[in-house]
Structure 1
């Protein structure tokens, strides 16, 4: 009997990144496949750092060092 394949999570998780110079970027996409396991969200920082390096190579303008990274909060629905 064939084993049933488990569904792999797809999509992205959004992160807010704060840099040491005080600038912030919001809603940085990190693939779900990069997260989880024993490291939890820690791989997101590495993924964003790699993205920043690639962007810097293309633009010629480097980003500062990352101070903190956290999952983006979903906006609350407005009351109305």
Structure 2
């Protein structure tokens, strides 16, 4: 029996620098959120949501984001 085709989700990777100077690399953001007039600004919202979920599970408050940039770009 043939397998059913799966839905392919494409991601863009971002490097995130927080206010305390720490950095997290390769944070995944769904490509469908990006582009348009807002450019990469929706990535900040998506990463902040990811941070909130992580902080709920770990009990450590989320850090404030200073900058975000696509991985591989300087």
TM-score range with shorter-chain normalisation?
A: 0.7 to 0.9
Match of 2:22 in 1: 23
For 2:60, what is the secondary structure of its paired residue?
coil
Structure 2 gap segments, 5+ residues each: 1-7
Match of 2:56 in 1: 57
Aligned pairs (5 A) from 1:3-18: 10-18=9-17
Structure 1 gap segments, 5+ residues each: 1-8, 75-80
TM-score for both structures, normalised by structure 2: 0.84
Aligned residues: 66
TM-score for both structures, normalised by structure 1: 0.78
Match of 1:35 in 2: 34
Match of 1:47 in 2: 46
| Ranges of 4+ aligned residues in structure 1 off by more than 6 Å | none
For 1:55, what is the secondary structure of its paired residue?
helix
Tell me, in whole angstroms, the C-alpha distance in 2 between the residues paired with 1:12 and 1:64: 23
For 1:21, what is the secondary structure of its paired residue?
coil
